[in-house]
């Protein structure tokens, strides 16, 4: 570029006008953010939300209290106790405490589970209003996700 063109460009603020044009174009173009509580960006299918215990089609719990997740967990989220009822074939958990405040959502528990009992839900709202609200017991582990919003923060509950 010749010096003259350069100084002319500089004098007529060409660089500034180019910048202004960019912001003006974005002003009229599509917006990226969404109005959150009304519109929710759906998490990806593999999203690692709150982990949840699942039951099989007959409503039987899948968890056999093998504690594989407890051993795999690097942050000691789990406190599991199992018991074999008289005549039952499999062990069932009687205590399944899971601590949200310790969890790092690494996914080891889900990977090691031999019966696919513990899986990630799509619940991404993790805030609680009380500290004891971050400790989940056995019955709550089956509800985790959509059904468990009372447990967590009320501020951003979905309205739809």
Partner 1 sequence: MTPFVADVLIPVGKIVAVILYPMIMVVVMIWLERRVVALMQGRLGPNRVGFQGVLQPVADAVKLFFKEDIIQRQADRFLFNISPVLVMFSSLLAFCFIPLGEPLRFGTYTLTLWIAESPVGLLIVLGLSTISVFGVIFGGWASNSKYPLMGALRSVIQILSYEIPTGLTVLTVAFVARSMDLVEIVRRQESSGVWYGFLMPVSFVVFWISAVAETNRAPFDLPEAESELVAGYHTEYSGMKFAYFYMAEYAHMVLVSSLVVILFFGGWLPPFPGVTALRFLHAVPGFVWYLVKIMFFLYLYVWIRATFPRYRFDSLIRLVWKWLIPLSLANFLIVALVRYLL
Partner 2 sequence: MAFREIDLNMGPQHPSTHGVLRLKLAVDNEVVLRVEPVLGYLHRGMEKLWESLTYTQVVPLTDRLDYLASLSNNLAYCLAVEKLAGIEVPKRAQYIRVVLAELQRLASHLAWTGFMANDIGAMSVLLYGFEAREDILDVFEEYCGARLTVHGIRIGGAVRDLDAPLIARIRTVLERIPKRLADIRALLDENRIWKERTVGIGRISAADAIDYGLTGPPLRASGVAWDMRRDIPYSSYGDFDFEVPLGANGDVYDRYLVRLEEICQSIRIVGQALDGLPDGDCAARVPRILRIPPGEAFHTIESPKGVLGFTIRSNGSDKPERVKMKSPSFINLQSLEHMCKGNLFSDVVGILGSLDIVLGEIDK
| Minimum gap (Å) between residue 7 Cβ and partner 1 | 13
Q: Shortest gap between Cβ of 6 and partner 2 (angstroms)?
A: 10
- We find the least distance from the C-beta atom of residue 83 to partner 2, in angstroms, to be 26
Q: Give the Cα separation of 68 and 22 in Å (integer).
A: 54
- Looking at the Cβ atoms of 30 and 131, the one nearer to partner 1 is 30
Which uninterrupted H or E stretch holds 94?
strand 92-99
Helix orientation angle between 14-28 and 3-11, rounded to the nearest 10 degrees: 50
SS3 state at 111: helix
The end-to-end CA distance of the chain, in Å, is 58
Is 114 a binding residue for partner 2 by CB under 8 A? The answer is no
Closest CA to 116 of 71, 73, 63, 44: 63
* C-alpha span between 124 and 10 (Å, rounded): 50
Site for partner 2 in 36-95 (CB under 8 A): 43-48, 72-74
15 binds partner 2 (CB under 8 A): yes
- For partner 1, the binding residue among 5, 8, 14, 16 (CB under 8 A) is 16
- Contact residues for 40 (Cβ-Cβ < 8 A; gap 6+): 34, 158
**Could you say which of 104, 129, 137, 157 contacts partner 2 (CB under 8 A)?**
104
Site string for partner 1, 22-51 (x = CB under 8 A): xxx-xx-xxxxxxx----------------
Which residues contact partner 1 by CB under 8 A?
Answer: 16, 19-20, 22-24, 26-27, 29-35
């Amino acid at each position: 570029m010749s010096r003259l063109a350069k100084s002319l460009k500089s004098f007529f603020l060409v660089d500034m006008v180019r910048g202004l044009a960019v912001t003006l174009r974005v002003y009229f173009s599509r917006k990226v953010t969404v109005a959150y509580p009304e519109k929710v960006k759906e998490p990806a299918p593999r999203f690692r939300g709150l982990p949840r215990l699942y039951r099989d089609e007959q409503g039987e719990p899948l968890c056999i209290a093998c504690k594989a997740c407890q051993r795999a967990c690097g942050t000691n989220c789990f406190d599991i106790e199992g018991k074999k009822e008289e005549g039952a074939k499999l062990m069932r958990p009687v205590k399944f405490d899971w601590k949200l405040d310790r969890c790092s959502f690494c996914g080891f528990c889900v990977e090691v589970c031999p019966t696919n009992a513990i899986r990630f839900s799509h619940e991404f709202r993790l805030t609680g209003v009380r500290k004891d609200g971050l400790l989940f017991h056995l019955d709550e582990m089956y509800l985790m996700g959509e059904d468990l919003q009372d447990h967590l923060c009320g501020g951003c509950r979905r309205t739809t």
